[in-house]
Amino acid sequence: MSSESVPRPEVDRLQNSIVAFVRAFGLHQPDTTPCGQTIPISQAHALTELAARQPINQSELGMILRLTKSTVSRMVGLMERRGWVERVRGGAADGRMVLLRLTDTGERMAATIAAARRARMEIFLDRIPTAQRDAVLQALSILTEAADDH
């Protein structure tokens, strides 16, 4: 008998726990970040990554965010129209390469998101008993590794 056909209650428990966390954290609301910003979650992640790594090209951004080329292209176009991102020509090595960089408005938005995210994380951390914090962080790390398909 294969392991796929054997009922595994821990699979149901994991599934239910993850679904409950997604809902409690607000990840099922794609147009608002869990920290309360009215911006699509994918754009908030893009702004955060651009603030940390700019300038980078769209392919790099897509790999970091684990989004398809077409999704990143649409997202960058929307962010460009909002005045948050601009495209610039690459350096001396390849002047044809187009890189993404935050505008001043994009920098401010990224800073707003970072501050809101940090405030929300402080609240979460304060709600976790001190003695369990390391275990929670370790469990999240293990869960991330298990979910990583690369």
* Residue 41: partners with Cβ closer than 8 Å, 6 or more residues away: 27, 30, 32, 33, 34
CB-CB contact of 101 with 117 (8 Å): no
Looking at the domain assignment, is residue 122 inside a domain?
Answer: yes
Q: How many domains does the chain have?
A: 1
**Segment 93-105, tens digit of pLDDT:** 666 688 999 999 9
Amino acid at 43: Q
Question: Which residue type, as a one-letter code, is found at position 142?
Answer: I
* Residue 52, domain extent: 33-132
- Is residue 26 assigned to a domain? no
Decide if 11 is inside a domain.
no
Half-sphere exposure of 123 (CA within 13 A, CB side): 8
pLDDT (tens digit per residue) in 18-64 = 899 888 888 888 788 888 888 999 999 999 999 999 899 999 999 99
Whether residue 99 contacts residue 87, with contact meaning beta carbons closer than 8 Å, is answered with: yes
CATH of the domain at 67: 1.10.10.10
